[in-house]
Structure 1
Amino acid sequence: MKDIVNITYLYNSGFVVEMDKYALVFDYYMDKTNYLSKLCQKYDNVYFFVSHSHFDHWNPAIGEFAQYVRKYFLSYDIHNRNSLPQEKTVVLDEYDEYKDDTIDVKSYSSTDAGISFLVSIGGWKIFHAGDFNWWHWKGDTKQNNAFARNGFVKQMKKIAGLKADIAFFPVDRRLEECCDWGVKEFCRQTDVDNLIAMHNADRQPWPLQPDFAGADKHIKVWSPVHPGETKRIEKLEK
């Protein structure tokens, strides 16, 4: 039997990853197709991940699914979490880790608010960057953009060499021609098999160049546009 996951785009940086026994929900903010209500009833093991407190990543309404959820993993900067059952909630700081017999969750820092996640479950390694990115805004000051670059370089030194079957990473078209600076560098310095572009709600997909990560990298890329789009990913044999 092939090792396969199905991924559904919710909105912005929100995605669902479905395996045989587990479902992972990342940065749920809006569910225009009402996918989660159907999903939670299908799985005994549902995990939610919230990378930070920005409104387009954190929606307290995830508490409505508590009866189906095994664990909620939240960034340390989310304080208004009364909608979630305390016994099912794990709060992670930067460079923190939670591990049990089923799941291993490691957190990294961000270049914006909160954290990013590396999740190991069911033989898969899945990275969700949250708002970790090289945020170069053309209209900003040289000082601010230099600060953003330095922050990104600093965090990449700690994340370089990371291995993941699937990585979700921001490719925000508001950054114009700078939109893929961060994802290019991330993919050059890590070992990622499948890349999924995110944080680009209601904008045109990423105009990908085949050698975006270097001539020696062969990374499958998905840049979803419409909520409800799905992608089937088969695990590579190594």
Structure 2
Amino acid sequence: MELIYLGHSGMLVHGEKASFLMDYYLDQGEGRGLCHGVMDEEGLSLPGRLYVLISHSHGDHLNPVVFGYENCRKDVVYVVAREAQDKVPKTLRSPVVFLEKGEAYRDELAFIRAYGSTDLGVSFYVEAEGKRFFHAGDLNDWHWNQEVPPEEAQGYTRAYREELAALSRDVSTLDLAMFPVDGRLGPDAANGAVAFLSAIPTRVFAPMHFGEDYRTQDGLVARGPFGGTRVIRWTRRGEQVSF
């Protein structure tokens, strides 16, 4: 399967029978097309079914443009955190599945389970075409240890570790993980990612949620290596990797 970075937390995973568009919101780029990180006619013409996953209602994870995709193709399935239910147009004709933590959706092409978050909504675990991948949404160790008292920061970290433990009890390995590395957290921005990689053996790890500050990824890379994990260091929207 192929992974294309669409900016911030927007990711597109596509294979022979299905594509998975996750938390897409940056619909403008230096140009059009997937090579510029933009989901337009090219992306909408990929073969197989299109699953649109929305982890929560924050504006940097959800662009209403995605609800117009059903006008371009008929085989769209929306899988949306129940927390974001009010963002979905009542007039939508395509199938819509609302998931809370612990709930799952299965059809003949994919299995999708919602896990917890340390912010709004959920995270998503997906099985398709023999691959297992995970999109964290806003699940992360949001410790804010440069801004809050130590006791408060430790509480945020404990909450994250609890969600990570629940995930790792069910998921023993991953082919791909897409996970926040957010520079606003300061020198320890990669803490959540490092803990994730310690808990779940992962073949390919894709940082996200760093906005335009691509250097934030260097803090994670510097704390490696991480066993057999390939850590992607994105340099622009539209980059593509195989996994």
TM-score between the two structures when normalised by the length of structure 1: 0.89
8 Å contact from structure 1 (residues 32, 227) kept in 2: no
C-alpha distance in 2, partners of 1:11/1:25?
12
Distance 1:117 1:9, change over 3 A: same
Measure, in 1, the Cα distance between the counterparts of 2:91 and 2:27: 18
State the SS of the aligned residue for 2:161. helix
Which one has the bigger helix percentage?
2
Name the count of aligned residue pairs. 226
The answer on 1:36 being equivalent to 2:42 is no
CA 1:128–1:70 in 2, change beyond 3 Å: closer, same or farther? same
Which consecutive residues of structure 2, in runs of 5 or more, have no partner in the other structure? 33-37
Give the deviation of 1:86 after TM superposition. Answer: 5.2
Contact 1:51 1:116 in 2 (8 A): yes
For residues 84 and 175 of structure 1, the distance between their equivalents in structure 2, rounded to whole angstroms, comes to 39
1:46 to 40, 46, 50: 50
Identity %: 25
Establish whether residue 105 from structure 1 lines up as the match of residue 112 from structure 2.
yes
Q: 1:185 aligns with which of 195, 205, 210?
A: 195
C-alpha root-mean-square deviation of aligned residues, in Å? Answer: 1.7
Question: Which residue in the other structure is 2:61 paired with?
Answer: 57
**CA offsets 1:72-109 (integer angstroms, 9 cap, x no match):** 11001111211662541100001111111111001100
Deviation for aligned residue 1:229: 1.8
CA offsets, 1:177-202, max 9 Å, x none?
Answer: 11110000111011211100000110
Matching residue of 1:122: 129
2:184 counterpart SS class: helix
Match of residue 236 from structure 1: none
The correspondence of residues 57-76 of structure 1 with structure 2, limited to 5 A, is 57-67=61-71, 68=73, 69-76=75-82
Whole-angstrom CA distance in 1 between matches of 2:187 and 2:99: 34
| TM-fit CA distance, 1:222 | 0.8
Amino acid corresponding to residue 130 of structure 1 in structure 2:
G
In structure 2, C-alpha distance between the alignment counterparts of 1:185 and 1:220, rounded to whole Å: 16
In structure 1, stretches of 5+ residues that fail to align are: 234-238
The one of 6, 14, 19 equivalent to 2:15 is: 19
Q: Secondary structure at the match of 1:77?
A: helix
Q: What's 2:164 paired with?
A: 156
Aligned to 1:93: 100
State the Cα distance separating 1:210 from its structure 2 match: 6.1
| Residues 196-215 of structure 1: pairs in structure 2 closer than 5 A | 196-205=206-215, 206-207=217-218, 208-209=221-222, 211-213=224-226
Secondary structure of 2:224's counterpart equals coil
Give the conservation status (yes or no) of the 8 Å contact 1:45–1:70.
yes
Secondary structure of the structure 1 residue equivalent to 2:87: coil
Call closer, same or farther: CA 1:199–1:83 in 2, change over 3 Å: farther
Amino acid corresponding to residue 50 of structure 2 in structure 1: V
Alignment pair present for 1:10 and 2:1: no
The alpha-carbon distance between structure 1 residues 56 and 84, as it changes in their structure 2 partners (threshold 3 A), is farther
- C-alpha distance in 2 between matches for 1:188 and 1:89: 34
The separation in 1 between residues aligned to 2:91 and 2:101, in whole angstroms, is 21
Q: Relative to structure 1, is the Cα distance of residues 198 and 84 closer, same or farther in structure 2, using a 3 angstrom cutoff?
A: farther
Match of 2:204 in 1: 194
1:223 equivalenced with 2:233 (yes/no): yes
SS at match of 2:68: helix
